[in-house]
A and B are shown apart, each in its own frame.
Chain A
Amino acid sequence: MRDLSLHILDIIQNSVAANASLIEISIHEDVEKDLLKITIKDNGKGMSKEFVKIATDPYTTSRTTRKVGLGIPLLKQNAERTGGSLSITSELGKGTILEATFIPSNIDCLSLGDIAGVIALTVSGNPLINFIYNHNINGNLYTFNTKEVKEILEGISIAEPSVCRYLKEMIQSNLEEIQIGTFGYKT
């Protein structure tokens, strides 16, 4: 993957495939601690303890269309290359929490990429799922919740292209306000 936002887009698809109705994406950037943490939490069908153990193995997938799963192992590799890590906590019938940490100062750390675009495309592309997106940059928090957006939109679908475009601009302007890019990420 070219950047972390594309990894996030990919990991969210696992939650969608697990029939989650609520997906929470949290990004925490801490310059002082030189730490970037990405958490994706869902209320989907979850995995057994045994399955979690092997899910970071590149030969694990429950899909039948291709024999190996790649999404989690690729993210894990990119996290570990920076000195970070990846962990999964999951419970069958309850949901899953995936957490990946990165050391931003490491030369191998991918840039964050177009996170506002990824969130907008994801919420518009999955109109029946609710999403919460928290982005914390050095203690300044921006929160986006599709439940609020859908209430305001009333009858208008969140999948409308003009809505998607507006949401992207809204998220981007708020991220700029909390100073996205302090780590020198290219967006």
Chain B
Amino acid sequence: MAKIKSLDDLRVMKESFQSKINLREKGENPGSHVQIKVAMATCGIASGAKTVMEFMMEELEKRGIESVVTQTGCMGYCYAEPTIEVKLPGQEPVVFGYVDTKKADEIIEKYIKNGELVEGIIPMNYETIDN
């Protein structure tokens, strides 16, 4: 069994978190982080939003991309869940649908790293049932 981790250990870990942040902030574009929101509505969760969120957090960190991944509620795209919103620094947010880990990988490599468009973008303000 793994050693039990306590809040005291968290205190000890703090330095390593901070040094990671420092390292990142000395990187190419300090302070200009990518913002990602994962839709955590019932349909999103049922179709794998948790896995997508975990993948995003892990991979963006591994690949050294400064980013913040948070949750958001229903974005209204039931038919295309899981959905994520990606906002590159200084740009309008873009929503991607049918995101699994494979798609998420493609979004990181093409859209986030190079600004290339990838399939699966949902036009914003598209109303699913009210129209």
Pick the contact of A159 from B16, B38, B42, B69 — CB < 8 Å? Answer: B69
Cβ-defined contact, A156 with B21, below 8 A: yes
Cβ-defined contact, A1 with B46, below 8 A: yes
Contacts of B118 in A (CB 8 A): none
Q: How many A-B residue pairs have CB under 8 A?
A: 124
Interface size class of A (residues with CB under 8 A): 35 or more
Give Cα distance in the complex from A118 to B13, angstroms: 21
Pick the contact of A170 from B5, B60, B130 — CB < 8 Å? Answer: B5
Restricting to A131-187, which residues have a CB under 8 Å from any CB of B? 148-149, 152-154, 156-157, 159-166, 169-170, 172-174, 176-177
Identify the stretch in B50-58, B88-96, B100-108, B109-117 within 8 Å (CB) of chain A at 4 or more residues.
Answer: B50-58
Interface size class of B (residues with CB under 8 A): 35 or more
Cβ-defined contact, A118 with B50, below 8 A: yes
Residue of B nearest to A127 (CB): B70
Contacts of A166 in B (CB 8 A): 5, 10, 13, 17
Tell me if A38 is interfacial: C-beta within 8 Å of chain B: no
Cβ-defined contact, B128 with A161, below 8 A: no
Tell me if A16 is interfacial: C-beta within 8 Å of chain B: yes
Give Cα distance in the complex from A153 to B74, angstroms: 30
Tell me if A22 is interfacial: C-beta within 8 Å of chain B: no
Residue of B nearest to A11 (CB): B42
Contacts of B26 in A (CB 8 A): none
Pick the contact of A174 from B5, B41, B74, B76 — CB < 8 Å? Answer: B5
Give Cα distance in the complex from A172 to B129, angstroms: 41
Q: How far is the CB of B36 from chain A (nearest CB, A)?
A: 10
Identify the stretch in A27-35, A40-48, A64-72, A81-89 within 8 Å (CB) of chain B at 4 or more residues.
Answer: A64-72
Cβ-defined contact, A6 with B74, below 8 A: no
Give Cα distance in the complex from A16 to B76, angstroms: 16
Cβ-defined contact, A125 with B38, below 8 A: yes
Which residues of B pack against A, CB within 8 Å? 1-7, 9-11, 13-14, 16-18, 20-21, 38, 40-43, 45-46, 50, 53-54, 57-58, 60-61, 68-71, 73-76, 78, 128-130
